Each structure stands twice: as structure tokens, then as C-alpha cells.
Amino acid sequence: MKAAALEALGRLMEGNTRFASCTGSVDGLSSRTRRLELLTGQQPFAIVLGCSDSRVPAELVFDQGLGDLFVIRVAGNIVAPSQIGSVEFAAERFGTRLVVVLGHSQCGAVLATLEELRRPNEGQSRNLRSIVDRIRPSVEGLLATPFARDLDTLAREAVRANVRASANQLRHGSETLERLIEQDGLLVVGAEYSLESGTVDVFDGALEAG
Ligand SMILES: [Zn+2]
């Protein structure tokens, strides 16, 4: 049932292997021919909700080209109504069956949230606060666990908790997506990109589907 989604995931991971080993496609992915081909329509094979961090561009880290990925980027890969709407749009309009929530190590938005939890900052702009407020519930609980003893461990766990929370919000925060998951083979997975190694680790939601 999730065959198309798993195939798409395999394609992404192969691309990431090429990227991480520096054997990625240098050209061809954005050729003029490809651009003209896409004038008649697009059929992206995966939807990626990723962080805006300049070091984590989805097309590059998965070594994909024009028309391959439907990408939504927002600081901290948070899920607000416009992100859900974007995923619904792509899943319904293009029949895309895989959604990847892509967090990453050393995420500034997650670190800012941890900082805010330890030292509340009244002066923060309302807009920035709206991002921190969406990350806060998933990481707050970690402060009471042994992870909190070490800042690096805490940050690492917080990135993953935030990815899991976003993936769950996509799975359960929309009737449209819930229906596509139950009846139409849509798969939502959570992954973390390592700035250090260049590799993506899919740690949430993929095993159950395979
Ligand atoms: Zn980030």
C-alpha cells in the first residue's frame, strides 16, 4: 500500500548517498531541456518540510533536480496551518505519496527555544515568538530528563523531538492528510540531516511502513 512512498524514500536516500560522498550530479538536474519539459506540469515524487537554514537545501542534500521535490521551508521546520495547507495541496494535486520532515543538527530555531526556556526573553518579536512557541511544547519536557545534564545531548534530543512533533502534526492535524494516509498510501516520515557528515537519518515513521 505504501509502495510508492517507500520507493520515493529509496530514491531520496540514494540521492543523499551521492551528495554525502560528493558524487552528486553536477549538471543535468536543472538543464534547459528539463525546464522546458516541466512547462506542461509537475509531478514531484516527494514533499519535504525542512528548515530554512542555508546549510540544508533539500534539493542539494538529496541530489535532486527541477521538478523532483515540493519543498516547504520554515525556520525550525515547524507546522502551522500554511505548512499543512501546502502539504495537502501537493499530496492532492500531484499525487505525491511521501512527506519528509527534515530537521538538522545544530538547528538555530531549536537552540533559540532551549535558550528561551532557560532565560525567557521579553524583548523577542511577536513573529519570532510564534516560531519558538511551536517548538517549545515538544522540547520542554526534555529539561526534566537526564538529557538536560549535557547541553549537546539536550540539543540533539530536542532536534529529534521537534521533528517527531512536526511529523505527528502532519499525520493528525488534517482530515485530508489523515484520509490519504489511511486510504491512499501517503507516508509521513521524520528525518535528521547531519551538518557534520552530510547524511540524512530517517528515524521516525519509516520502519512501520516497510
Ligand atoms: Zn534549523
Question: Per-10-residue mean pLDDT for the chain, 210 residues long?
Answer: 94 97 74 91 98 98 96 98 98 98 98 92 87 96 93 96 98 98 97 98 87
What's the gap in Å between 57 CA and the centre of ligand 1?
11
- pLDDT for res 77: 98
DSSP state of 52: -
* Ligand 1 center–CA 77 separation, angstroms: 7
pLDDT of residue 112: 95
pLDDT of the residue at 23: 86
User: How far does residue 159's CA lie from ligand 1's centre (Å)?
Assistant: 9
- How far, in Å, from the CA of 54 to the mean position of ligand 1? 9
| 0.85 exceeded by pTM | yes
Q: Supply the pLDDT for residue 127.
A: 92
Ligand 1 centroid to 79 CA: how many Å?
13
- Ligand 1 centroid from CA 204, angstroms: 18
Q: Are 131 and 109 in contact (CB under 8 A)?
A: yes
Taking the centre of ligand 1 as the mean of its atom positions, its distance from the CA of residue 34, in whole angstroms, is 30
The CA-atom distances, in angstroms, between 151 and each of 5, 114, 157, 169, 201 are 36, 10, 10, 26, 21
Question: Tens digits of per-residue pLDDT, 36-76?
Answer: 999 999 999 999 999 999 999 999 999 999 999 999 999 99
The sheet carrying 46-50 orders its strands as 69-73, 46-50, 98-104, 187-193, 200-204
* Dist. CA 37 → ligand 1 center (Å): 33
pLDDT for the residue 8: 98
Beta strands in the chain (DSSP E): 46-50, 69-73, 98-104, 187-193, 200-204
Phi, psi of 119 (to 5 degrees): -140, 85
Going from the Cα of 107 to the center of ligand 1, the distance in angstroms, rounded, reads 4
Q: What is the pLDDT of residue 179?
A: 98
Distance 116 CA to ligand 1 centre (A): 16
